[in-house]
Amino acid sequence: MSPAIELLVATKNKKKLEEIREILKGLDFKITSLADYQGLPEIVEDGRTFSQNAVIKASTIAQFTKKLVMGEDSGLQVKALRNRPGVYSARYAARNLSENASDEKNNIKLLRELKGVPLKKRDARYQCAVALADEKGAIGVVTGDCAGKIGLKPRGHLGFGYDPLFVIEKYGKTFAELGPAIKHKMSHRYKALKKARRLIEKYFAK
């Protein structure tokens, strides 16, 4: 492969992009993001599932740029909340569901809605869907998940999103405490990107 080959990741989230680059390191191509382009069309994330939103992101940007695009959508499902916040994870505490809320506000709302729920009943699952598309359309969608529990209070300063609350029972620590060295070997995003990596290699091999 050549460094001139490009994979455009349809995100403006710097922390998410950094994580994707870290997990995909070793592949011989350039990884760019929406921040590297101007005049891109608006992405309307109106899918009912993570997979649908991932495809929307990838296809919307691929049609415009004529490049191979990765769309990624992920979020948190909490069993006690009937799998909320789900596809609205980034917008959970927002007044307008078309806009994202800060990680802190989302975490505060989640703790408020789980007030009085004991730790043993705070089962949760991170979900991730990754879609690849080029100008001809969607190429494939892969998924990954990671089970844990929602802690009683935020712990740790690493990671982003709900990581300060997402407890990995095996370690008794949150993703925000464990850090990328461990998270990137077991997270929902790692599992999905590991599958996506094979699709990417196969695509560029052509």
Catalytic residues: 73
Cβ distance 75 to 50 under 8 Å?
A: yes
> How is the chain split among helix, strand and coil, in percent rounded to 5?
40, 25, 35
Q: How many CB atoms lie within 10 A of CB 200?
A: 22
CA 5 to chain centre: 23
Gap between the Cα atoms of 71 and 180, Å rounded: 21
